[in-house]
């Protein structure tokens, strides 16, 4: 849908190792990535329906071709200051634990292929995000990429339940 403007890059020059295909997106100053296989689609922002008394990071629900799915504000999930939604904002729809949900990001950058060799385990303190959610850090020549562990991020919504 809205993915036409997404670049498809092979950013990695090193040989060998397993190839990882990632969708990268920005949240504030940092750049994150998720496994492309988990991503169902990327949509432009659409109108959300608020669900009363739902956990705070749940922005609301959307109609995804007849299926009602919850949409989570990733900024709120990470405890960042909520930003105003812009033209660049996107909803990334993923399937985690056979549950379909969307999350809002500031911008979607590109589809990236890297070798697993350049991914290192997450250091204890790398960014504003709880290291539990980080699967690893991709060391690109010019920048760092934070690989998110979606299944932990939305793990049965333990955090959501606690928040409620």
Binding residues for another protein, rule: CB under 8 A, are 47, 49-55, 58, 60-63, 66-70, 99, 101, 156-157, 160-161, 163-164
User: 81 or 98: whose CB is closer to another protein?
Assistant: 98
d(CA 77, CA 20): 25
User: 21 or 54: whose CB is closer to another protein?
Assistant: 54
User: Is 4 in a helix, a strand, or coil?
Assistant: helix
For residues 93, 44, 32 and 74, what is the CA-based torsion angle, rounded to 10 degrees? -70
The residue among 124, 85, 88, 140 whose CA lies nearest residue 109 is 88
Kindly state the smallest distance separating residue 13's Cβ from another protein, in Å. Answer: 42
DSSP one-letter code for 81: P
Kindly state the smallest distance separating residue 70's Cβ from another protein, in Å. Answer: 4
User: 64 or 111: whose CB is closer to another protein?
Assistant: 64
């Amino acid at each position: 849908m809205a993915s036409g403007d997404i670049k498809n890059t092979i950013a990695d020059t090193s040989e060998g190792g397993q190839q990882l295909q990632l969708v990268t997106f920005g949240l504030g100053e940092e750049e994150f990535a998720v496994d492309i296989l988990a991503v169902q689609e990327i949509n432009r922002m659409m109108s959300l329906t608020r669900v009363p008394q739902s956990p705070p990071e749940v922005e609301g629900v959307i109609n995804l071709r007849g299926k009602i799915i919850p949409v989570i504000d990733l900024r709120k999930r990470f405890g960042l200051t909520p930003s105003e939604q812009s033209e660049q904002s996107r909803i990334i729809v993923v399937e985690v634990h056979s549950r379909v949900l969307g999350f809002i990001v500031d911008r979607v950058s590109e589809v990236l292929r890297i070798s697993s060799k350049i991914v290192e385990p997450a250091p204890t303190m790398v960014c504003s995000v709880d290291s539990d959610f980080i699967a690893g850090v991709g060391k690109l020549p010019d920048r760092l990429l934070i690989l998110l562990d979606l299944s932990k991020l939305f793990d049965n919504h333990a955090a959501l339940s606690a928040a409620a």
